Structure 1
Amino acid sequence: MKKHLLVANWKLNGSIKMISQYIKCVKSCLSVLSKKNIIVIAPPTIYLSEIYKNLNNIDIFLGAQNVDINLKGAFTGETSILMLRDIGVKYVIIGHSERRLLHNETNDILVKKFDLIKKLNLIPILCIGEIEKNKNYNQTTKILIEQLNCMFQVLGKSVFRNTVIAYEPIWAIGTGLSADPKYVQFIHKFIKDYIAQHDPTSIKNIIVQYGGSINAINAEEFIKEPDIDGLLIGSASLDSKEFCKIIAIAEKVTKYY
């Protein structure tokens, strides 16, 4: 029986009022479940402390949506890994397609962020994925290899130990057009096999999760696949009831598959 990692990525959404109601609902949900899985909430940076205060020993971890490459100094508007760790963050999302596309984050920048997160003993969630054109031209694995190789080449063969890879086909994010679960299973198996070629030990503690228009209707079809270790959930995670339904589905799948 494997645990699944469920990450609620709120993106640029949320409010103080929402947080109180949201945590209350999730707390109630978890109180009747066996809590076999790992739950992470990743709100906008400004709400990280507020979320942390509301957790109150609940079995939920705090995640950040981004981090700067600098530890401190004259970098107006940025947030360092030291600050994130100081307020209780355990997981940090990097390389999300929206940041790659809208904020021009390159693989070189992501290598620096990944390295900082690991050195501070937090857990990176590295997002990788292809655009629709890549998929149509059968270039998906080529793109994924490029995104993984940038880490191997700079940080070494064991770089992915105790980390999370989030496969998010860019053409499925926020479109409502989720990828086929069997296709995602194939890609996840490919990612794990490719990493194992460099470092077989990594497979013992790496999590490969899927992100892309996940909701309570399609969640089970994904997480019952053997190599899909969890879900990175966007829009559906903003509704606490919807997120709780996904958590309950994951609990059922963890028990029976």
Structure 2
Amino acid sequence: MNKNIPKIIIGNLKMNGSLAFFDSYLSALKDGLNNENKVNVGLCLPYPYLSQAQSILSGSKIGWGSQNIAKFENGPHTGEVSAKMLNDFGVQYVIVGHSERSTAYCESDENIAEKFNNVKKHNMTPVLCVGENLIEREAGIMEQVVAAQIEIIIKSFGTKIFENSIVAYEPIWAIGTDMAASPEQTNHMCSFIRKIINQDGLNEINNLKIVYGGSLNSKNAVQLFGLNSVDGGLIGRASLNINEFIKICQLAQSFKT
């Protein structure tokens, strides 16, 4: 694991906002964090506002990204957005595999693996979401579930594809609820994810970051960021409140990974 590296905080705004909202939000975020160098911050917005993010955040220390990507390069794929299109807007981060998408749009692990590879091919940083649902957690098979989500990528593209990547442990039962995983649960699963990717220490993957997502907020951030296995956070609902999001980013400054 890297040492003395700032935590990384990625905001996922989901399907929220407007031109007016993001004009205010992005400007406030830039003003609130632009002088900070003790935390890395990225913001994943809906597609229509990527140009706005590029315009406002360019030259700042804040990165921007998208919440999805097509597995295709181009062609007759109505409604899809390609990697090259995202490159045009300076996108740095791309969320892949979020449970809200995989559930609503029946995305398979194989499809997510192809998207992950497409992000890497076009020099962006994937934020791969993995996690178990409540039934799987209660059945004690969370490791098997998460391992399967990761191993399909390793089988298809090898372990080195995880270099310069982010994996977010997001237990599905914690997303959009008040049921954040405990520090013990988080530490166990984030350590397990790193072990799977590093293949029990046989492969050291450079600049792999394991973060936690799932009802992470300013009240539980210190506990979770204090875990050695956690390199940062993927913030959903709490990122909609600009003051709350800035506070989470500021709390992360006190920790290194």
Q: Tell me the amino acid that sits aligned with residue 6 of structure 1.
A: I
Q: Does the Cα contact within 8 Å between 1:177 and 1:213 map onto a contact in 2?
A: yes
Please, what TM-score do these two structures have when normalized by structure 2?
Answer: 0.95
Q: Does the Cα contact within 8 Å between 1:9 and 1:43 map onto a contact in 2?
A: yes
Q: Tell me the amino acid that sits aligned with residue 143 of structure 2.
A: T
Q: Aligned to 1:158, what secondary structure does the other structure show?
A: helix
Pick the aligned partner of 2:67 from 61, 65, 68: 65
Q: Aligned to 1:178, what secondary structure does the other structure show?
A: coil
Alpha-carbon deviations, 1:130-160, whole Å to 9, x = none?
0001110110101011111101111123221
Per-residue deviation at 1:230?
Answer: 0.7
User: Does 1:2 pair with 2:5?
Assistant: yes
Q: Does the Cα contact within 8 Å between 1:6 and 1:231 map onto a contact in 2?
A: yes
In the TM superposition, what are the counterparts of 1:1-257 in structure 2 within 5 Å? 1-31=4-34, 34-197=36-199, 200-202=203-205, 204-254=206-256
Alpha-carbon deviations, 1:153-176, whole Å to 9, x = none?
111232211111010000000011
Q: Tell me the amino acid that sits aligned with residue 94 of structure 2.
A: V
Mapped to 1, the partners of 2:76 and 2:155 lie a distance apart of 30
Mapped to 1, the partners of 2:74 and 2:5 lie a distance apart of 38
Q: Tell me the amino acid that sits aligned with residue 237 of structure 2.
A: S
Mapped to 2, the partners of 1:155 and 1:56 lie a distance apart of 32
Please, what TM-score do these two structures have when normalized by structure 1?
Answer: 0.95
Mapped to 1, the partners of 2:45 and 2:88 lie a distance apart of 16
Number of residue equivalences: 253
Per-residue deviation at 1:128?
Answer: 0.4
Q: Aligned to 1:222, what secondary structure does the other structure show?
A: helix
Q: Does the Cα contact within 8 Å between 1:161 and 1:201 map onto a contact in 2?
A: no
Q: Does the Cα contact within 8 Å between 2:170 and 2:213 map onto a contact in 1?
A: yes
Cα RMSD of the aligned pairs, angstroms, is 1.4
Mapped to 2, the partners of 1:9 and 1:157 lie a distance apart of 26
Cα distance change of structure 1 residues 119 and 56 upon mapping to structure 2, 3 Å threshold:
closer
Mapped to 2, the partners of 1:27 and 1:91 lie a distance apart of 17
Q: Tell me the amino acid that sits aligned with residue 96 of structure 1.
A: H
Q: Could you tell me the percent identity over the aligned residues?
A: 35
Q: Does the Cα contact within 8 Å between 1:94 and 1:125 map onto a contact in 2?
A: yes
Q: Tell me the amino acid that sits aligned with residue 166 of structure 1.
A: A
Q: Aligned to 1:252, what secondary structure does the other structure show?
A: coil
Q: 5+ unaligned residues in a row in structure 2: which ranges?
A: none
